[in-house]
Structure 1
Amino acid sequence: MDRATGAWVNGLIGVVIFAGSLPATRVAVAAFDPLFLTSARATIAAALGGLLLIGLRQRRPALKDLAPLAIVALGCVLGFPLLTALALQHVSSAHSIVFIGLLPIFTALFGVLRGGERPRAAFWAFSLAGSACVVGFAIAGAMPAKGALSASGGGNVIQGDLLMLAAIVVCGLGYAEGARLSRRLGGWQVISWALVLSLPVMVPVALWTLPSSWAHVTAPAWWGFGYVSVFSMLIGFIFWYRGLAMGGIAGVGQLQLLQPFFGLALAALLLHEAVSAMMLAVTLCAVGCVAGAKRFAS
């Protein structure tokens, strides 16, 4: 497998893993406080990442790497998990798909600002078209759910939207900064060191927000908690940062356009939900935009 193909394969594996993050968070946050969920998942992932760093005898990052690692920690370890957990108290996971469609744009923008990448004009055209395709489909699909949520008084949808938008911005920054750093340290090393760096904050917060009782925690909530702690917080980043570092932040980042559809596919496979012809058509459109962005990314 050549380097370019390997980059896109790694990126695709990361996207598939991340596709389950929002539904898993939605299930988990029904039983866990958002602050506890964010800090506990980071603590568990940091313990696993730390064991990898020690077991494989990785060198400590240089002093100049601490600031970029702090940005990764703020964006991917704290910012995105906490903001999405807060948002999913107000909106459904289906509604949140609207904002995932914007993530490739922000990742590409921060790739330009922080990574020094300069994609061609055609790349931006394909990227915008893909984002518009995904967002348009998600808005159409989420409108009934949004109306139902509002009608039932289930939460402040506008507040949820603002939290999701903030989550996408900080996540795009964390993705771009981590990918830039991965070129020197390696993909799994970056997320592992960022997790370890966050431990002095995450452990006290987890202990402070520890539930007084576990009796109310259902089995699905435990499964969601486990998924976001191991897969969303660590394993997914191992593949994702490797793909971004090998193939370019802006280009490989466009694979995120497929993330909502992988989530829908998982819902169809595991929950036996119907997959419409429109869903397939929009998926093909997004795949075409990803292919076009890939061609003009460099």
Structure 2
Amino acid sequence: MSSRAPLAPYAAVAVTVLSWAAAFPAIRLALRELQPVPLAAARFAVAALLVLGWLAWRRPQRPALPDLLRFALCGLIGIAAYNILLNTGQRTVAAGAASFIVNTAPILTALLARLALGERFGARGWAGTLVSFAGIALIASAQPGGLAFGAGASLVLGSALCMACYVVLQKPLVARHGALACTAWTLLAGALWLSPWLPDAAGELPQAGAATVATVIGLGVLPAAIGYATWTTALGHFGAARATNFLYLVPPVATAIAVPLLGETPGPQTLLGGAVAIAGVVLVNTRGRAGSASAEPPAPRRVPS
């Protein structure tokens, strides 16, 4: 029994990477029959049902009013706005390209933390930022409209900015309520913000095929609920610094899944841009890492994906 125990954290990492990576091609697949915002509303309605079940089971401490308002803001920015921008952008941006762009959220988080929280961001951080955004420019130039305002790639980059804002906003909440409870309250808030589009989703889903309906349910269950739970397990075993390194696998895996599922084969420019973007993220994430493994982990970037 003890010889099998070390496999559990690696299994948790595998589930996290696969579920978060599969979200990008799954969104592209569902967008063939659903509009972007109703898709987000339906997906998080499914997630909200799971969240309500978890809250009834675990009964975490209810947040005070100031924290409830902050959770509402987290749900607005990190769930509703993130998914509206991501889904709309993915109408024209390939799944692999979108995953590489979203993977730069830690850099945007570090920049916002520098501005809002006064955290250090030295020469290594700025160099990594420049490298990563050079990679984004390469990816975007291979997508329709490039990085022009309103183009798909710019909307996906906007979703990454939303995720960065969410991480900074959520940071004090994690210390008070714990990672899983924070995710539950944020997902529930996001579902409420998206609920006005549920009637549209209810009108579109009956006309969609069974594969699309199954995809929506899968998006509500796997990346948000199961993926976050397994990510929390990985964080507890490996620590934040080491566990975050596994997330560099998400864009390549998303790209690989999109090839058979969607027939999207990335071109050399997208692959080169993705490699450059990840190199920049690695450069930023490894600055001053000494002693960071025991620090409070940031909220995962892939919750809404």
AA of the residue aligned to 1:39:
A
Higher helix fraction: Structure 1 or Structure 2? 1
- Provide the alpha-carbon RMSD of the alignment: 4.2
* Shift in Å, 1:135: 3.0
Aligned partner of 2:220 among 207, 226, 229: 229
Q: Is the 8 A contact 1:103 1:256 kept in 2?
A: no
- 5 Å matches for 1:31-180? 31-97=33-99, 99-114=101-116, 117-126=119-128, 128-129=130-131, 131-132=132-133, 134-135=135-136, 138-139=139-140, 143=142, 146=144, 158-180=150-172
Counterpart in the other structure of 2:195: 203
Counterpart in the other structure of 1:184: 176
CA distance in 2, matches of 1:82, 1:274: 25
Q: Could you give the per-residue CA deviations for residues 195-218 of structure 1, whole angstroms, max 9, x where no partner exists?
A: 223454433431354216624x23
Q: Which moved more, 1:16-25 or 1:279-288?
A: 279-288
How many residues of Structure 1 are paired with residues of Structure 2 in the alignment?
279
Secondary structure of residue in 1 paired with 2:92? coil
* Shift in Å, 1:158: 5.0
- 1:265 matched to 2:267: no
Q: Is the 8 A contact 1:107 1:253 kept in 2?
A: no
Counterpart in the other structure of 1:247: 240
Q: Which moved more, 1:41-50 or 1:85-94?
A: 85-94
Q: Which moved more, 1:109-118 or 1:36-45?
A: 109-118
Q: Is the 8 A contact 1:91 1:146 kept in 2?
A: yes
Counterpart in the other structure of 2:4: none
CA distance in 2, matches of 1:117, 1:39: 35
CA distance in 2, matches of 1:120, 1:243: 29
Could you say if the C-alpha distance between residues 230 and 271 of structure 1 is closer, same or farther in structure 2, counting changes exceeding 3 Å? same
Could you say if the C-alpha distance between residues 9 and 107 of structure 1 is closer, same or farther in structure 2, counting changes exceeding 3 Å? farther
CA distance in 1, matches of 2:190, 2:40: 11
Q: Is the 8 A contact 2:105 2:160 kept in 1?
A: yes
Could you say if the C-alpha distance between residues 270 and 223 of structure 1 is closer, same or farther in structure 2, counting changes exceeding 3 Å? same
Q: Could you give the per-residue CA deviations for residues 200-247 of structure 1, whole angstroms, max 9, x where no partner exists?
A: 4433431354216624x2343233312321123333344557878963
Secondary structure of residue in 1 paired with 2:151? helix
Aligned partner of 1:19 among 11, 16, 21: 21
Give TM-score, length-normalised by structure 2.
0.71
Could you say if the C-alpha distance between residues 100 and 289 of structure 1 is closer, same or farther in structure 2, counting changes exceeding 3 Å? closer
Counterpart in the other structure of 1:194: 186
Secondary structure of residue in 2 paired with 1:58? coil
- Report percent identity of matched pairs: 24
Secondary structure of residue in 1 paired with 2:154? helix
Uncovered stretches (5+) of structure 1, i.e. residues with no partner: 1-6, 151-155
Q: Is the 8 A contact 1:134 1:257 kept in 2?
A: no
CA distance in 2, matches of 1:213, 1:171: 27
Q: Is the 8 A contact 1:18 1:232 kept in 2?
A: yes
Counterpart in the other structure of 2:31: 29
CA distance in 2, matches of 1:158, 1:238: 34
Give TM-score, length-normalised by structure 1.
0.72
* Shift in Å, 1:184: 2.0
CA distance in 2, matches of 1:208, 1:11: 36
CA distance in 2, matches of 1:82, 1:26: 13
* Shift in Å, 1:173: 1.0
Q: Is the 8 A contact 1:39 1:206 kept in 2?
A: yes
CA distance in 2, matches of 1:138, 1:240: 28
Q: Which moved more, 1:251-260 or 1:68-77?
A: 251-260
